[in-house]
Structure 1
Amino acid sequence: MTMHRPALDVELLYRDADRMTCRTLRAGRLPAMERDDLRQELMLDLLRRLQHLDPARGSIGAFAQVCFRHRAQRAVWLQRREARDRHIYAHLGEQVSAGHHDPADSLTLRLDLGRVLSRLSPPQLATVMTLLQQDASPAPRTTRHRHLQAVRAQLAAAGLQEAA
């Protein structure tokens, strides 16, 4: 017995993804330049999850809405986490360069950061420098996130838990 799959109305799904994208950008206060990327992420996530669709439990439209909502929430969470990380690394950079605190602590922090930065790969180092400068990176968000995870692991391994 073969399972009957409902026909896909791709245009309708695309419009639903576009609506969810606009809603997410507004609610999550994400930059408008993320619109195409987010819409593409929503559609790709739906295509990946389509194999789990059970027509007996609901329509493809309802399934798509749930997939879109979950992926959109995750995108907002990742964007906020990235902004928080940018703030933390900028604060670390200010502590190192400002010298407003104990010189011994400053020297220790500089040595620790120097040790960690010497272990980073060129893409990871570029990610850290971008975060310290608070510039928009030309790299895709997923690539920046992957490099940031590796940088966090290096900082934690070096004993800089407050920065990881």
Structure 2
Amino acid sequence: MASSSGTTTSSGSSSLLQNSGSEEDLQLLMDQRKRKRMLSNRESARRSRLRKQKQLDDLMAQVAHLRKENSQIVTSLNMTTQHYLNIDSENSVLRAQEAELSHRLESLMGIVRYLNVTNVNGGFDHTGHGGHGDQDFFPDQFGSDAFMINPLMCFT
């Protein structure tokens, strides 16, 4: 029985050695997979950093482009505003000139109407006086005999 028990012991050791060898192989295989996974993760992280860097570079280029475009728009807006202010100033001058010329035209038309009436009436207005009595032909701002004193005073 001893021999059979020795045989059992020796076959148990051999079985233990086989298990131990396959455990080492399994451990080696797991270590290999772990290293492979670590390398793969490192490569993936490197690619991710490169993508992020490229995205950041693209965004910085876009920021530079938009700032340049914004600067051009501001410059154009300033030029347009200045042009508008110049045109507005010219329009104000033209409006003032138009008002002055309209006033002069009204004065001249009053003189022409006065002269036409005095010529039609033979030098006498409808009151029978020699053209000095009709105040309707004179603009109020000049006074009653403004045109008789100096007919061109509204043009000076």
Query: Structure 1 length normalisation: TM-score?
Result: 0.27
Bigger RCO of structures 1 and 2 (CA < 8 A, at least 6 apart): 1
Query: Structure 2 length normalisation: TM-score?
Result: 0.28
Higher helix share: 2
